[in-house]
Amino acid sequence: MRLSDYRAVLFDLDGVLTNTAEVHERAWARMFTDFLDARRAGGEPVAAYNDADYFDHIDGKPRYEGVRSLLASRGITLPDGTPADGAGQTTVAGLGNRKNEYLLSILRDEGVQAFPGSVLLLDRLEERAMPMAVVSSSRNACAVLTAAGLRDRFEIVVDGVAAATAGLAGKPAPDTYLHAAALLGVPPACTVVVEDAISGVRAGAAGGFRVVGVDRGAGRGELIDNGADVVVGDLAELAVD
């Protein structure tokens, strides 16, 4: 694939531009390990959290959707609650907010870095004046971009906050990517989506975009099977044309 053959590029954030996918994974693991262990200690026969759960049920989805998906995999139903729920409340929103507290704690203590290959690709695309946007399910996208020194590269950021404000369905629905493409004024068929998550790859394919999968752990075969046209291990591979 030659990105120069297209008119715009839409990037997912966590795991594509920055190493925060691993940070998200750790925060989810801590929250759900504690939650499920406590359920088992109370006599409920639920399976423990495992590494595959992140990719199977959580990766790339809006926060509360990730909570619902993982709970459903264990046959657990909780009240939705509201975004104002405290992190100690046993609701979908409460668990999601607890995970977010863990995430922000890790970011404060350890910071965040952009992948060097991703920065190289951004440099190449900027040299060509390629329109670009970030499309992320995270409500912390702007903070992460700022921490990684990338915020000023993107005029358009469609994140979890923007999606909620506009009433857009989250990934794997294509709505957020279609919204970003419309803001750039470029049709999906002329636009490339760059994703590392299965739900994001599905969103790009459903929207009629050309999809580049970045294999940060989801697996090349899984990305291809779910709609990626090509898969790379690092975005520097796309910076050569």
Length of the chain: 241
Rg (CA), the chain: 18
Catalytic pick from 14, 59, 159, 175?
A: 14
Residue 175 appears among annotated catalytic residues? no
**Residues 211 and 3 sit within 8 Å (Cβ to Cβ):** no
CA distance 185 to 205: 19
pLDDT in tens, 193-209: 999 999 999 999 999 99
Q: Could you say which DSSP state residue 7 is in?
A: S
- What is the fold, at CATH topology level, of the domain defined by 3-19+113-238? Rossmann fold (3.40.50)
Q: Where are the CATH 1.10.150 domain residues in the chain?
A: 22-110
Mean of all residue pLDDT scores within the chain: 95
- Sorting pLDDT into bands at 50, 70 and 90, what band is 143? confident
CA distance 47 to 67: 15
pLDDT in tens, 158-199: 999 999 999 999 999 999 999 999 999 999 999 999 999 999
- Sorting pLDDT into bands at 50, 70 and 90, what band is 22? confident
CATH code at 22-110: 1.10.150
Residue 109 appears among annotated catalytic residues? no
pLDDT in tens, 79-91: 999 999 999 999 9
Residue type, position 177, single letter: Y
Q: Where are the CATH 3.40.50.1000 domain residues in the chain?
A: 3-19+113-238
pLDDT in tens, 29-77: 999 999 999 999 999 999 999 999 998 999 888 899 999 999 999 999 9
- Six-digit token string for 166: 């506009």
- Six-digit token string for 41: 């200690």
The residue whose two tokens read 């590029």 is: 9
Catalytic pick from 5, 12, 85, 196?
A: 12
Residue type, position 216, single letter: R
Mean pLDDT, residues 97-111 taken together = 89
pLDDT at 210 over 80: yes
* Buried b / exposed e along 89-115 (16+ C-beta atoms within 10 A): bebbbbbbbbbbebbeebbeeeebebb
pTM of the prediction?
Answer: 0.79
pLDDT at 241 over 80: no
> What is the pLDDT at residue 50?
95
- Sorting pLDDT into bands at 50, 70 and 90, what band is 16? very high
Burial class (CB in 10 A: 0-12, 13-18, 19+), 16: buried
CA distance 222 to 217: 10
